[in-house]
Structure 1
Amino acid sequence: MDFKQVKENEEKAVLKNKNVVDSDFWRQKYHIQGIVGLINDPNGFSQFNGEYHMFYQWNPLSTEHKNKTWAHSKSHDLLHWERCETALRPDTWYSKNGVYSGSGIVIDGKLYLFYTGNVKDAEGNRESYQCIAVSEDGEHFDRWEPSIVNQPDGYTRHIRDPKIWEKDGKYYAVLGIQSEKLEGKVVLYSSENIKNWKFEGEIAGANHGKLKDFGFMWECPDYFQLKDEKTGKIIDLLVASPQGLEPQGDLYNNKYQTGYFFGKLDYEKPEFEIRSEFVEIDRGHDFYAPQSMEDNKGRRIVVGWMGVPEDEDFPTVKNEWIHCLTLPRKLKVRDGKLYQEPISEMVSIRGEKIEFEGFVKGEKEIGKGKTYELIVKFSDISSDFGLKLRVGKNSETVVKFDFEDKKLVLDRSCGAQADKSVRKVFLGDRKDLELRIFVDNSSIEVFVNNGEEVFSSRIFPLENADKIIVFAENETKVKLEKWEWQ
């Protein structure tokens, strides 16, 4: 494609399809989504000049994984997002086949984006370039020539998704990479001046250290530290999205997975010493490639892509759009376990409230709604119980506790989505259970017991499906609060 045509083609596609997209009742109310086309990975998540900035992979021309740009939105509260001019387009020689994922960092009053430029020849052979763009106003970016060209020895051309941070006056970045043995890995680079980068070495991955076979590619790595709220210890976390894991019971049931390790990063070796099992961050159908940042309140906030690569059979494709990002979440570690909590700003969009408290046996309709927040507490548990949401003809999404198996189950099989599978997580014996649930026009996010577990899934109920039903086999005490979103 002629570089001069890139922006023009984007504008034509938006004008052609925007009216159709806007009329779609599955369009989200409080989730970042593309105005048309396909979006995926969150990129460059940062806070600059008092505003939150979110960049994200966007193909404005179709719902296929091609023509990747960096779309850009900004917000004062992480909920109300203003669309900005596209930040990066595939209009340079080193990104002509796509501006791939990366991260952002603020240095001396400027916002720097560190991203992957993708180039393919006529035979499909790939070249990868790690590149930098810099802005003084957060919206207009000057692009530098590539800082890292292709890959170090022993690896394939699959190297991408740099996540950058500063430590003791020096800059570091982790990247996902594939070894020549077709194993997914994470490598570490360093820089004294942000422009020139040195390969330090491989720090984690399949068949690295004690970790055995674990995927053919690790995408979108993220490294950060959190203080354990109970012990006070500083914990290192390495997040990655490994591709190629086989399902194991209730684990790894998506096409590709995302999870984390606790451990310790040794900058000198270098190595990330893994001290835990790999734990899936999210138990739902649609979560991948999360990116985190620390804001000026000291919160570690994460946002994920509410989708999974190579899983594109969504009913919105007919209207020329697909995918969105998750709601932002605050990460914390408590007694050696990672928790995810809805950000405090969520209360600001609460509107009309309804309440219910009492005992339920069988089914009880307690209200209606399409976009809302629920907090539900169940106690005196002795049987299966749960909620049916967005209920209507040929539509319902079920969140259920299986009393015998001691598992929470998310069932979206009754709706317009092609994937009818369920997702489960083992919770063990419970005397009570609290769920905080956020339902948008085409998604559900379930936070279990203050974020001990989370499910994120796209749902596609029919237009008038809006009933909220509580159910229990045996008499169960229920306390429910529901707020319609303003």
Structure 2
Amino acid sequence: MDFKDMKINEEKAVLENKERVAKDFWRQKYHVQGIVGLINDPNGFTQFKGKYHMFYQWNPLGVDHKNKTWGHSVSDDLLHWERCETALRPDTWYSKNGVYSGSGIVIDGELYLFYTGNVKDDEGNRESYQCLAVSEDGEHFERWEPSIVNQPDGYTRDIRDPKIWEKDGKYYAVLGIQSEKLEGKVVLYSSENIKDWKFKGEIAGANHGKLKDFGFMWECPDYFQLKDEKTGEIVDLLVVSPQGLEPEGDLYQNKYQTGYFFGKLDYAKPEFEITSDFVEIDRGHDFYAPQSMEDDKGRRLIVGWMGVPEEEDFPMTKNGWIHSLTLPRELKVIDGKLYQLPIKEMETIRGEKIEFSSKVKGTEKVGTGTTYELNAKFKNITGNVGLKLRVGKESETILKLDYADKKFVLDRTKGEQVDKSLRKVALDNVNELELTVFVDNSSIEVFINGGKEVFSSKILPKFGADGIEVFADNETDVEIVKWEWK
């Protein structure tokens, strides 16, 4: 394709397909998604000139991972998003085979976007370049390509996904990279002026320090600090999306994973000194490549791609679209554990309210709905309990506490998705359970016990499947509040 015609082809694809896409039964109501085509990683998540800006990998021309641009949407409240002109297209030499993932930072009233330019030669060999675009208004961008140019020795050209931050008047970037031994790593760069960058060194990765074999590539690294809400300690977190982990029991069940390490970043050494195990951020089927930012309320917010690479076998592709981003969440550390909390803004879209309070044994229908928020509390538990959502003929999504195994289970075996596997996580207390659940037309996000664990998964119920049921093997105290979304 001649990328000089990219904009024309994009506009044509949108015009031809947007009505068909908009009418699709599974289109989301409150999630960022492409107007047509495929989206994946969130990029450049920032707050600039009073608005939240969300960029994202977008292929407007199809439902495969080609023709990557940076789509762009803005919001006042993180829930109602307005689509903007495409921010970056692969119409320069350094991005001619795709504008890949990166991040954003605001400096002196200007928005800087760092991204990976993908370049392939005639034999299909890939090279990656770290590039920069600058905007005064958040809509029009001047490309500065390339920016981070000093490829370190001992690594392949799989280097990508720059995440930028400022500390003590200097700028730093972490990038995912692959060693010549095909090991996933994270490296650190620094800059005095945001334009010129120096390679500092490798700070973490497979077979680095105390960590052993841990994947062939680490994508989308993110570094930030949080204050422990209980101890007051400032803790460092390194979030990565490693590829190549083998399943271990209930862990690492997706094609590729996303999780975090606690530790301490030593800028001088440099080294991210890991002090914890790798913990998956999300236990569901569809979560990858998240990006975080701190907003003007002092919140550390995170959004992930509600999908996983190399898993595009979903029926909505027949109608010309696939994937969305997760709902934004707030991150907190409480007593050495990372929690994810629904953002306060979710309360603003609450509509009609239905309440249910009873002792339950067996199964009871408590209402209907297709897009809603639901809070369920189970007390005095002595057996299996849970919810069945989007219930209909050959459709249901089950959220269950397996009392004997002391595990929470997400079961989406009945639905149109091809993957029928379960997702599970062990719980430390099975006598009580609280679930906060957000159900959209083709997704479910479950926050367990105040956000201590989270499951995000696509669900593809059949038409008319809108039942809500509660069940308990033994008599259990149950309280449910459900709000239909406006």
Tell me the TM-score range normalised by the shorter chain.
over 0.9
One-letter code aligned to 2:437: I
Q: In structure 1, how many angstroms separate the alpha carbons of the residues matched to 2:443 and 2:128?
A: 34
Q: In structure 2, how many angstroms separate the alpha carbons of the residues matched to 1:180 and 1:293?
A: 32
1:262 paired with 2:245, answer: no
Match of 2:320 in 1: 320
Q: CA deviation at 1:149?
A: 2.9
Give the secondary-structure state (helix, strand or coil) at the position aligned to 1:19.
Answer: helix
Q: In structure 1, how many angstroms separate the alpha carbons of the residues matched to 2:127 and 2:369?
A: 49
User: Among the aligned pairs, what percent are the same residue?
Assistant: 79
- Where do residues 282-431 of structure 1 align in structure 2 (5 Å cutoff)? 282-431=282-431
1:84 paired with 2:81, answer: no
Match of 2:199 in 1: 199
Match of 2:466 in 1: 466
One-letter code aligned to 2:347: V
Q: In structure 2, how many angstroms separate the alpha carbons of the residues matched to 1:226 and 1:219?
A: 22
Q: In structure 2, how many angstroms separate the alpha carbons of the residues matched to 1:150 and 1:283?
A: 37
One-letter code aligned to 2:442: S
Can you give the 5+ residue segments of structure 1 that lack an aligned partner in the other structure? Answer: none
- TM-score normalised according to structure 2 size: 0.99
Match of 1:71 in 2: 71
For the Cα contact (< 8 Å) 1:150–1:157, is it kept in 2?
no
User: In the TM superposition, what whole-angstrom CA distance separates every residue of 1:93-118 from its partner, at most 9, and x where no partner exists?
Assistant: 00000000000000000000000000
One-letter code aligned to 1:36: V
Q: CA deviation at 1:12?
A: 1.0
One-letter code aligned to 2:258: T
Give the secondary-structure state (helix, strand or coil) at the position aligned to 2:11.
Answer: helix
1:457 paired with 2:453, answer: no
Match of 2:252 in 1: 252
For the Cα contact (< 8 Å) 2:332–2:338, is it kept in 1?
yes
One-letter code aligned to 1:102: G
Q: CA deviation at 1:25?
A: 1.2
User: In the TM superposition, what whole-angstrom CA distance separates every residue of 1:13-33 from its partner, at most 9, and x where no partner exists?
Assistant: 111111110110100000000
For the Cα contact (< 8 Å) 1:128–1:150, is it kept in 2?
no
Q: CA deviation at 1:429?
A: 3.5
Give the secondary-structure state (helix, strand or coil) at the position aligned to 2:347.
Answer: helix
One-letter code aligned to 1:321: W
Q: CA deviation at 1:428?
A: 3.0
- TM-score normalised according to structure 1 size: 0.99
Q: In structure 1, how many angstroms separate the alpha carbons of the residues matched to 2:477 and 2:315?
A: 38
1:118 paired with 2:112, answer: no
For the Cα contact (< 8 Å) 2:150–2:199, is it kept in 1?
no
Match of 1:178 in 2: 178
Give the secondary-structure state (helix, strand or coil) at the position aligned to 2:409.
Answer: strand
For the Cα contact (< 8 Å) 1:69–1:88, is it kept in 2?
yes
Q: In structure 2, how many angstroms separate the alpha carbons of the residues matched to 1:409 and 1:378?
A: 15
For the Cα contact (< 8 Å) 1:303–1:329, is it kept in 2?
yes
Give the secondary-structure state (helix, strand or coil) at the position aligned to 1:28.
Answer: coil
Q: In structure 1, how many angstroms separate the alpha carbons of the residues matched to 2:29 and 2:347?
A: 15
Q: CA deviation at 1:344?
A: 0.3
Match of 2:29 in 1: 29
User: In the TM superposition, what whole-angstrom CA distance separates every residue of 1:21-49 from its partner, at most 9, and x where no partner exists?
Assistant: 01101000000000111000000000001
One-letter code aligned to 1:117: G
For the Cα contact (< 8 Å) 1:128–1:149, is it kept in 2?
no
Match of 1:223 in 2: 223
Match of 2:106 in 1: 106
Q: CA deviation at 1:2?
A: 2.0
For the Cα contact (< 8 Å) 1:437–1:444, is it kept in 2?
yes
Q: In structure 1, how many angstroms separate the alpha carbons of the residues matched to 2:268 and 2:366?
A: 58
Match of 2:3 in 1: 3
User: In the TM superposition, what whole-angstrom CA distance separates every residue of 1:292-327 from its partner, at most 9, and x where no partner exists?
Assistant: 000000000000000000011111111110000000
Match of 1:146 in 2: 146
User: In the TM superposition, what whole-angstrom CA distance separates every residue of 1:150-188 from its partner, at most 9, and x where no partner exists?
Assistant: 721000000000000000000000000000000000000
Q: CA deviation at 1:242?
A: 0.1
For the Cα contact (< 8 Å) 2:150–2:198, is it kept in 1?
no
One-letter code aligned to 1:239: V
Match of 1:277 in 2: 277
One-letter code aligned to 1:166: E
Match of 1:232 in 2: 232
Q: In structure 2, how many angstroms separate the alpha carbons of the residues matched to 1:123 and 1:150?
A: 24
Q: In structure 2, how many angstroms separate the alpha carbons of the residues matched to 1:2 and 1:21?
A: 26
The farther-off stretch of 140-149 and 157-166 is 140-149
Q: In structure 2, how many angstroms separate the alpha carbons of the residues matched to 1:321 and 1:149?
A: 35
Give the secondary-structure state (helix, strand or coil) at the position aligned to 1:88.
Answer: coil
User: In the TM superposition, what whole-angstrom CA distance separates every residue of 1:378-432 from its partner, at most 9, and x where no partner exists?
Assistant: 0010000100000001110000000000000000010000000000000033221
Q: In structure 2, how many angstroms separate the alpha carbons of the residues matched to 1:115 and 1:382?
A: 52
User: In the TM superposition, what whole-angstrom CA distance separates every residue of 1:50-84 from its partner, at most 9, and x where no partner exists?
Assistant: 10000000000010001100000000000000000
CA RMSD of the aligned region, Å? Answer: 0.6
Aligned length: 486
Give the secondary-structure state (helix, strand or coil) at the position aligned to 1:239.
Answer: strand
Q: In structure 1, how many angstroms separate the alpha carbons of the residues matched to 2:150 and 2:66?
A: 20
For the Cα contact (< 8 Å) 2:225–2:235, is it kept in 1?
yes
One-letter code aligned to 1:291: Q
Q: In structure 2, how many angstroms separate the alpha carbons of the residues matched to 1:279 and 1:100?
A: 26
One-letter code aligned to 2:376: V
For the Cα contact (< 8 Å) 2:63–2:321, is it kept in 1?
yes
1:164 paired with 2:164, answer: yes
Match of 2:447 in 1: 447
